[in-house]
Amino acid sequence: MFLDIDGTLLEIAPTPETVIVPAGLRELLVRLYDLAHGALALISGRSLVQLDRMLAPLKVPMAGVHGFERRGADGTAHHESGSAFPAGARERLTRVVREHPQLLLEDKGPALALHYRLAPDLQRIARHAADEALQLAGRNYVLLDGKMVIELKPAAATKSGAIEAFLREPPFVGRVPIFIGDDRTDEAGFECVNRHGGLSIQVGATPIRGATYCLADVAAVRAWLEALARQAEGVRR
């Protein structure tokens, strides 16, 4: 089982730092992790440092920054190779935030995310700055559009690549995958699990390519996971 975080397990907040982890979510993830014999991983655009801080003391396999960094089931850390984030691209995005303080620049180290959720009217300005930053970054980087955010990230980092890597390792190897996500940033993950004959589930009504099933919202995701856990616990008894 592979689960996105923001917009899937957690309600999207005005800023990345203001998300709320609801009571019972950590416990539900622990139950699912145990029932799947450890074959559960979180697949997020956030960094592993952010995820660990948000979900402490929970420790499960995770992929962060859209697959750039990953912690396997055995605790081993993996990172995509790459040089430092291009200084010119960073300066272009930093400058647009100085000029328009309603924009928010989230620094993930190997990637930068330009959020315009607090100022939707600045979408065109954010897009223009992101396009210019991409030109400065070069061919090893791509833009990834999400819900009121544009992210400049290494092209080699994908949620598909992260899921593929997990599926080559115990306890995921040989298992049929499930992936739940809510945004265009999750399309690569859907395509990956579909190739493996798995279950791809979209959250919400945002048009997304690749998902074969849909859940209405975050509450519906947690209700479905709770029902899945209870069913598995009943079988185990």
The answer to whether residues 23 and 29 touch, using CB atoms and an 8 Å cutoff, is no
Containing 189, the helix (H) or strand (E) segment is: helix 187-195
The Cα–Cα gap between 91 and 7 comes to 29
Q: Is 4 a catalytic residue?
A: yes
Question: DSSP readout, 25-70?
Answer: HHHHHHHHHHHTTT--EEE-SS-HHHHHHHHTT----EEEGGGTEE
60 in Cβ contact with 33 (< 8 Å): yes
What is the Cα–Cα distance from 33 to 137, expressed in whole angstroms? 39
Which listed residue (4, 6, 182, 183) is catalytic? 4
And the tokens for 44? Answer: 């997020």
- Active site residue ranges: 4
